[in-house]
Structure 1
Amino acid sequence: MWHGIAQQLSQVLAFEFVIQERESLQGGDCNQCYMISDGQQRYFVKINDREYLPKFESEIDNLSSLLQTSTLSVPQPVTCGVVKDHAFLILNYLPTKPLTAPTEQYHLGQQLAHLHLWGEQKEYGYDADTYVGLNLQPNAWHKKWGIFFSECRIGWQLQLLKEKGIEFGDIEEIVTLVKQRIGTHNPKPSLLHGNLSDNNYALSVNGAICYDPSSYWGDPECDLAIIEEFSNLGSEFFAGYEDTLSIEDGYDKRRELYQLYYLLCRCNQYGGEYLTQCISKIQLIQQDLI
């Protein structure tokens, strides 16, 4: 396998890359991760089953889109492909450590706000479907945020869970309630990172860096909601964000809806405690407490 990966990397680099060092790394929950080196250049490699290739292709597309904004720092994608029974993704390699310093958190908040201010898009969605972990995100373009989020996010995940035998109630009723709670909120579409949980950002020699995006054009509050639910970023991060871009009134209510989506994604992938959290959140929506 590794010889085949080196051959394909060599074709992209236009010189022969011979792996002299390979180190297993702590990665996400889905992939095997490695650092490879020829003694001079180092690269980060993700390995998974062959059918995982579309997810790696989507990741390259998302990283490329974020790089075009020159706002949020993300890894440079190199290539992806298949070797026998495995799919692989190669990115540039940067040593990282936890992002704990208040100053660096503040700067990351500023970067994310600049991402949310970047570009002009009139509709919500993306040119291709994307992924949150193993969960497909359908991104058909919509003009109304409430319709897009309630149907393409909440409704979609509820249907996937139902197909696994997990039901939280009538899907159409829950989708309608979410749509009502969002109401007339129709923010300017922003390009989102889409999955800024605590294992998807770190500190590199060049400052904060983010990875594993699930990008699409949506409400910037979705990025903030997952950060509050699944990260250790604190007040300094939000100070940096709000010094650059104000958070709209009503976010405290919408945040609960947006967090429900990410809880449903995790419930779909892991089950366990996320099932209980989803039940609690949906009951609050049904009782008009969100």
Structure 2
Amino acid sequence: MWASIREQLSLVLGYSFTIKDKQTLDGGNISHVYLISDGIEQYVVKTNSRDFLVQYLAEEHSLSSLHHTHTLTVPKVILTGQTKSHAFIVLQYLPTTPLRAEQTSYQLGQQLAQLHQWGEQKQYGYDDDNFIGATPQPNTWTNKWHQFFAEQRIGWQLQLLKERGIELVDIDQFVALIKQRLANHHPKPALLHGDLWQGNVGETETGAVCYDPACYWGDRECDIAMTELFGGFPQSFYAGYQSIWPLHQHYEQRRPIYHLYHVMNHCYLFGGEYLVQAQALIDEIHHNHSLCVDSSTK
């Protein structure tokens, strides 16, 4: 495998790259991650089974989309390919530490707001389907946000869980409820990182770096909602975001719906406590809907 990666990397770089050092990095539970070096240049290499190439190509597409905006800092993709036995992606190495510095967090919040303001798109979706973690994520272009999120996010995850024998709620009824809850919300389509949690962000000497995106055009509140899950972000991050583009006053009403998508995905991938969290969010959404119905009849 490594001989083939070295040969393909040498062709892309335009000189003979020799792997003199190879270290294993902590890269989560999906791929094997390595830091390779020829004594001068260093690169990150992710490897997986050969059929994983589609996931790496999706990652390359998302990273390229973000890089094109000149807002968030993301690693450049050097090479994506296959050997006889493996798929791999080679990335620019950006040494990072966990995001902690207030000023760096504040600037990251500003950069995310600038990403969300970047570009003009009339529909919600993406040119290709991709993956949220290891889970397929459909991105068929759709004109209405409530339809896109209810069907391609909430309904999709509920169906995946049902196929594993986990039925949290009646799918058709709940999808209809989500459509109703979002029907009057018409956000400007924003390019999203899509998987913006604490583990996909790091801090360098020059600022924050983001990894492992799952891009699509959607409601900017989805990125913000995910930053509040799985460890959360420093408060200075949110202050930075608000300084560029303040959130809508009704964001908190939609937040449980946006949280549910990612909690259900974790339930699908890991089970355990996420099943309890997903059910609690569904109950909260039902409760909030009942409050809305009651207030509208008074």
Q: TM-score range by the shorter chain?
A: over 0.9
Deviations 1:52-99 (A, max 9, x none): 110100000100000000000100011111122211111000111111
- Corresponding residue number in structure 1 for 2:60: 60
Matches of 2:207 and 2:5 in 1, distance apart? 30
The aligned amino acid for 1:149 is: F
The aligned amino acid for 1:62 is: S
Other structure's SS at 1:45 match: strand
- Corresponding residue number in structure 2 for 1:113: 113
Moved more, 1-10 or 107-116: 1-10
Q: CA deviation at 1:289?
A: 6.0
Q: CA deviation at 1:48?
A: 1.1
Matches of 2:234 and 2:92 in 1, distance apart? 28
The aligned amino acid for 2:192 is: L
Give 4+ residue runs of structure 1 displaced > 6 Å after superposition. none
- Corresponding residue number in structure 2 for 1:187: 187
- Corresponding residue number in structure 2 for 1:210: 210
Q: CA deviation at 1:125?
A: 0.3
Q: CA RMSD in A?
A: 1.1
Would the aligned equivalents of 2:56 and 2:80 in 1 still touch at CA under 8 Å? Answer: yes
Matches of 1:85 and 1:276 in 2, distance apart? 39
Matches of 1:289 and 1:61 in 2, distance apart? 41
- Corresponding residue number in structure 1 for 2:238: 238
The aligned amino acid for 2:208 is: A
Moved more, 76-85 or 234-243: 76-85
Deviations 1:23-78 (A, max 9, x none): 11111221111100111111001111112110100000100000000000100011
> Percent same amino acid among aligned pairs?
49
Q: 1:46-57 counterparts in 2 under 5 A?
A: 46-57=46-57
Give the gaps of 5 or more residues in structure 2. 292-298
The aligned amino acid for 1:5 is: I
Other structure's SS at 1:230 match: coil
Give the gaps of 5 or more residues in structure 1. none
Matches of 1:272 and 1:129 in 2, distance apart? 27
Matches of 2:262 and 2:96 in 1, distance apart? 25
Matches of 1:54 and 1:289 in 2, distance apart? 42
Matches of 2:166 and 2:232 in 1, distance apart? 30
Matches of 1:216 and 1:67 in 2, distance apart? 14
Would the aligned equivalents of 2:201 and 2:208 in 1 still touch at CA under 8 Å? Answer: yes
Matches of 2:273 and 2:29 in 1, distance apart? 16
Would the aligned equivalents of 1:196 and 1:231 in 2 still touch at CA under 8 Å? Answer: no
- Corresponding residue number in structure 2 for 1:147: 147
Matches of 1:162 and 1:232 in 2, distance apart? 29
Matches of 1:204 and 1:103 in 2, distance apart? 12
- With normalisation by structure 1, the TM-score equals 0.98
- With normalisation by structure 2, the TM-score equals 0.95
Matches of 1:271 and 1:229 in 2, distance apart? 16
- Corresponding residue number in structure 2 for 1:252: 252
Q: How many residues align?
A: 290
Moved more, 275-284 or 146-155: 275-284
Q: 1:38-117 counterparts in 2 under 5 A?
A: 38-117=38-117
